[in-house]
Structure 1
Amino acid sequence: MDFSDVSLVALRVFREVAERGTFTAAAAALGYTQSAVSRQIAALERAAGSKLLERRREGVALTAAGQVVLRNAAAVLDRIDATARELAGLPAEGGTVRLGWYPSAGAALLPRAVGALRRTHPAVTVTTREGTTPTLVRALRAGTIDLALIASAPPFRPPDSETPALKLETLSERSLCVAVPAGHPLAAGDSVDVADLRGQRWISGPASSNEVWLGVWPGLDERPVIAHTARDWLAKLQLVATGAGLTTIAATMTPVVPAGVRVVTVRGGPQELRRTILARLPGPVPEPVRLLADALRTAAVDLGRPSPIG
């Protein structure tokens, strides 16, 4: 085992592969060819004297040795980046916290927390990025974000099985609701029966091979009719306002629904709950990270206060 000749390029490539989950995605993000990424990983594995990645059909997974290398590579790269910033006269990285968030968190929770922190601690810099829960978990492991807002649905399993286990804190647990056009027959009351959702047109996020249609009521006993697909939840709600269809929505998003949209609860069938979870790696918590975590907790409590649905 000899790491004396390991390059920073190899470490950055390794971190990117670990975060993106595939050689192809890492190559695209870095602007490299896939073969160049493969060569860097092979060189790193030779230096480590051990396999660092397990190649699987759906992508790659870190081996136990890979987890050790990733943890230390992230620390090295963070120090190098901090040094470059200091030499360039930029603000110290110690005043910055990097947050990842799942899409619907950007509608209400994220801006409320970031806005509050800017008012109370303007010296703290927050950078954010949107991603799916699996993507954000990999980014935490890779050390490219400090905190992650992730979504969880029953049976509320841990987001991954890697070690060490992530520190998870439930910020909110609310019922899933349905957003309907204000002029729709289902908008007449505050709740609808699950049977009334059959045959409706839905506005959903694009599904992949391992994802459900995000925006369609779970457990429908029919193939849903997808009228529109959109990743942005506010775009979905604007489409609902035009009468284009229905979409699911977390109860915490009720304060930001546009005019022309009614939010109703659903009766019957299994109770559909959704958790917003704050995740981080175990270990000491830097002050900027602690301050942002506190702001997110407060914002989640504020959004969870009872408010009229409609």
Structure 2
Amino acid sequence: MDFGNVSLVAVRVFREVAERRTLTAAAAALGYTQSAVSRQIASLERAAGTVLLERGHDGVRLTGAGYVVLRRAAAVLDEIDATARELSGLPQEGGTVRLGWFPSAGLILVPRALAALRRTHPAISVTSREASTPDLVRAVRAGSIDLAVVGSRPPFRPLDTESPQLEVETLTERCLYLAVPATHPLAAAEVVDIGELRGQRWIASPSTNDQPRLGVWPGLDERPEIAHSVRDWMAKLNLVAAGCGVTTLPRSLLEAVPPGVRVLTVRGGPHEQRRILLTRLPRPLTEPAARLADALRAAIAEAGPSFRPS
């Protein structure tokens, strides 16, 4: 093994490929050609003296050696980025935290926490991005974000099977609800039976290889009719208000419900719970990251029963 001549470019490219899981996606994110990405990966594998990525029809997967390199590479890049920030003249009591969050957390929880952090610790800078939970877990593993707010649903399996295990904290656990138009026949009741959901028109997000469809009540005994395929939560709720269909709703979004929407409890079938988790690599947090984690916990505590665990 000879890492003496490995460039930082190759290390950054490797981290991006590890997170994106395809050379094409990594190239697009970095603004490189796919052949340039391949050359950088090849140079790193020559230095390592072993294969770091296994190529398949659905993308790439890290080998055991690849995970070792990724773990070390993430630490090296973090130190280099921290040095650059320090040299740029940031106040010593400040720093930058990289936060990832799954879509529903961006409506209330994340903005509330960031607003509080700006008031109490204005020297801390936060950069953030929205992504699916699987994408955020890969980003945490790759070291490209420090903290991730992610979602979990029954049966609440581990976020991934890699080693070492990620640090995971449950911020809240609450029931799933049903959102219907105020003019809908079901809107007159506060509780509906799961059997009454047959034949409804649903507003739901599209499913992907690693992300299930969200918006349809789990466990229906029929193939649901998807009237509108929507990713954005506010778009879903506004479509409900317009009378275009019904959708599911986590309790953490009750404050975001627009006029014209009724929120109902569903009786029967499995007890549907949803968790919001805070996850990170198993290593000590920097002071700015710890402050942000505290702000996220405080945002849930201050939000009342819409957020707090049962």
TM score, norm. by length of structure 2: 0.93
1:211-233 per-residue CA deviation (whole Å, 9 max, x = no partner) reads 33211111212221111122110
What displacement does 1:21 show? 1.3
Give the secondary-structure state (helix, strand or coil) at the position aligned to 1:164: coil
Q: Which residue does 1:127 correspond to in 2? A: 127
Seen in structure 2, the aligned counterparts of structure 1 residues 173 and 304 have a Cα distance that, compared at 3 Å, is: farther
Which residue of the partner structure matches residue 296 of structure 1? 296
Q: AA paired with 2:240?
A: V
Structure 1, 115-124 or 134-143: larger mean CA deviation: 115-124
Verify the 8 A CA contact 2:251 2:306 in the aligned structure 1. no
User: Residue 87 and residue 294 in structure 1: after superposition, are their counterparts in 2 closer, same or farther (change >3 A)?
Assistant: closer
Answer yes or no: is 1:275 the counterpart of 2:275. Answer: yes
Larger displacement relative to structure 2 (175-184 or 59-68): 59-68
Pair 1:296–1:29, CA change in 2 (3 A): same
Q: Secondary structure at the match of 1:39?
A: helix
Provide the rounded CA distance (Å) in 2 between the counterparts of 1:306 and 1:93.
Answer: 33
2:249 matches 1:249: yes
Displacement after TM superposition at 1:190 (Å): 1.4
Q: Are the equivalent residues in 1 in contact too, given 2:53–2:60 (CA < 8 A)?
A: yes
Aligned partner of residue 305 in structure 1, secondary structure: helix
The equivalent residue for 1:146 is 146
| Structure 1 residue 132 displacement after superposition | 0.5
Code of the residue aligned with 2:225 in structure 1: it is V
Partner of 1:203: 203
Shift of 1:81: 2.8
> How do residues 127-276 of structure 1 correspond to structure 2 at under 5 angstroms?
127-276=127-276
Partner amino acid, structure 1, of 2:74: A
Change (3 A) 1:93 1:3: farther
- Contact 1:85/1:92, CA 8 A, preserved across alignment: no
> 1:244 is aligned with what amino acid?
C
- Which position in structure 2 is the counterpart of 1:81? 81
Contact conserved, 2:98 with 2:144, CA < 8 A, in 1? yes
Which residue number corresponds to residue 20 of structure 2?
Answer: 20
In the TM superposition, residue 90 of structure 1 has moved relative to its aligned partner by 5.3
Partners in 2 of 1:16 and 1:144 — Cα distance? Answer: 8
Q: Structure 1 pair 272/216, CA: closer, same or farther in 2 (3 Å)?
A: same
Instruction: Report the Cα offset of residue 189 of structure 1.
Output: 1.7
Say if 2:237 and 2:261, in contact at 8 Å, map to a contact too.
yes
Q: 1:34-45 alignment to 2 at 5 Å? A: 34-45=34-45
> 1:101 — aligned with what?
101
Deviation at 1:50, TM superposition (A): 1.5
CA distance in 2, matches of 1:204, 1:139: 25
- Report how many residues are paired: 307
Give the TM-score taking structure 1 as reference length: 0.93
How far off its partner does 1:207 sit? 1.7
- Comparing 262-271 with 221-230, greater Cα deviation is found at 221-230
Deviates more, 1:207-216 or 1:231-240: 207-216
- Considering only aligned residues, what root-mean-square deviation do their CA atoms show, in Å? 1.8
Distance 1:109 1:246 in 2: 24
Provide the rounded CA distance (Å) in 1 between the counterparts of 2:18 and 2:114.
Answer: 28
Deviates more, 1:60-69 or 1:127-136: 60-69
* One-letter identity of the residue aligned with 1:52: L
Deviation at 1:285, TM superposition (A): 1.3
**Cα separation, partners in 2 of 1:278 and 1:218, compared to 1, 3 Å:** same
1:17-57: CA deviations, max 9, x gaps?
01111112111111222222122111111100111122344
- 146-155 or 199-208: bigger deviation: 199-208
| Percent of residue pairs bearing the same amino acid type | 68
For the residue of structure 2 that corresponds to 1:3, the secondary structure is coil
Structure 2 residue runs of 5 or longer lacking an equivalent are none
Match of 1:68, as an amino acid? Answer: V
What letter corresponds to residue 187 of structure 2 in structure 1?
A
3-state SS, counterpart of residue 305 of structure 2:
coil
Q: Secondary structure at the match of 2:220?
A: coil
User: Aligned AA for 2:11?
Assistant: L
Deviation at 1:89, TM superposition (A): 4.3
C-alpha separation in 2, matches of 1:48 and 1:101: 33
Q: Is the Cα contact below 8 Å between 1:85 and 1:91 reproduced in 2?
A: no
Distance in 1 (alpha carbons) for counterparts of 2:32 and 2:121 = 39
